[in-house]
C-alpha cells in the first residue's frame, strides 16, 4: 500500500515553534502550503465544520488525490474554513469524535491538532505506519493513538459513513443534535 500524499494549508495564526503542521513539515512528513494556489486539486480537505464524516467510501479519494488539513487557530476556524472553501475543489470531510491528546486541548472531544487530525484520517484509511510517522513530530503523538485506540479501531471497521457515525455514540455521551 502506497503512502498517501499529505499536505497542510498553513494560515500562520499561531506560534510556528509550537505548530504541529510546521514541525511535521520540517521532518518531511507532509507538504506545507502558504499559497492556496499550490494545494492539490484532488483529494480530501479535513474540515471540522462540514457535517460529512470521512468514511470508508471516501478512502478512494486518498488513492488518487491527497489528504489536506487546514492548519488554523480554533478561535478563527469559521472564517478560515470560509476563505478556503471558495478556493478548492477538494472533498470536505470531518472526523468522527476522538479525544485530543495535545497539551492545549487535552481530553476535549474533536479539538484535535493538525497532526492528530491527519493521523486519525490515515488510521481510518488503513495507513497506520504513516499515521505514526506524522505524529512523530510531537512527544504526545503515541498517546493520542493510545487514548483513541478503541474508537479508531471501531471506526476503521465501519462499512459506511452512517455506521461510523452511529459508532460514535458507543464511545461518547453526546446528543446527535450536538453534531449537526
Main-chain dihedrals φ then ψ at residue 94, nearest 5 degrees: -110, 165
Alpha helix segments (H runs only) across 33-160: 59-64, 77-85, 114-124, 128-135, 141-147, 149-156
| pLDDT per position as a tens digit, 28-80 | 999 998 877 788 888 999 988 888 999 999 999 999 899 999 886 655 565 55
pTM greater than the 0.85 cutoff: yes
DSSP state of 71: E
Residue in this structure with the C-alpha cell 499550490, named with its chain if needed: 38
pLDDT grade for 178, boundaries at 50, 70 and 90:
very low
Above 70 in pLDDT, residue 176?
no
d(CA 80, CA 111): 16
Q: 96-131 burial by CB neighbour count: b if 16+ within 10 A, else e?
A: bbbbbbbeebeeebbbbbbbbbbbbbbbbbebeebb
Q: In this structure, are strands 43-46 and 5-10 parallel, antiparallel, or unpaired? A: unpaired
pLDDT grade for 175, boundaries at 50, 70 and 90:
low
Q: In this structure, are strands 91-93 and 66-71 parallel, antiparallel, or unpaired? A: unpaired
Q: How many domains does the chain have?
A: 1
Domain range for 126: 5-72+80-179
| 83 CB burial (10 A radius; 0-12, 13-18, 19+) | middle
d(CA 37, CA 159): 34
DSSP state of 37: G
| pLDDT per position as a tens digit, 81-135 | 656 666 677 899 999 999 999 998 899 888 899 999 999 999 999 999 999 999 9
Above 50 in pLDDT, residue 179?
no
Amino acid at each position: 500500500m502506497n503512502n498517501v500524499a499529505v499536505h497542510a494549508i498553513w494560515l500562520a495564526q499561531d506560534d510556528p515553534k509550537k505548530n504541529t503542521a510546521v514541525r511535521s513539515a520540517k521532518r518531511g512528513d507532509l507538504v506545507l502550503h502558504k499559497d492556496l494556489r499550490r494545494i492539490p486539486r484532488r483529494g480530501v480537505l479535513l474540515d471540522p465544520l462540514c457535517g460529512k464524516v470521512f468514511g470508508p467510501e471516501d478512502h478512494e479519494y486518498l488513492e488518487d488525490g491527497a489528504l489536506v488539513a487546514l492548519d488554523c487557530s480554533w478561535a478563527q476556524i469559521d472564517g478560515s474554513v470560509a476563505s478556503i472553501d471558495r478556493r478548492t475543489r477538494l472533498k470536505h470531510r470531518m472526523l468522527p469524535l476522538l479525544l485530543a491528546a495535545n497539551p492545549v486541548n487535552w481530553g476535549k472531544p474533536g479539538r484535535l491538532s493538525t497532526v492528530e487530525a491527519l493521523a486519525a484520517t490515515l488510521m481510518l484509511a488503513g495507513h497506520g505506519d504513516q499515521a505514526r510517522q506524522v505524529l512523530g513530530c510531537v512527544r504526545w503523538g503515541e498517546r493520542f493513538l493510545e487514548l483513541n485506540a478503541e474508537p479508531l479501531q471501531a471506526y476503521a471497521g465501519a462499512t459506511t459513513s452512517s455506521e461510523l457515525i452511529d459508532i460514535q455514540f458507543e464511545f461518547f455521551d453526546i446528543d446527535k443534535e450536538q453534531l449537526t
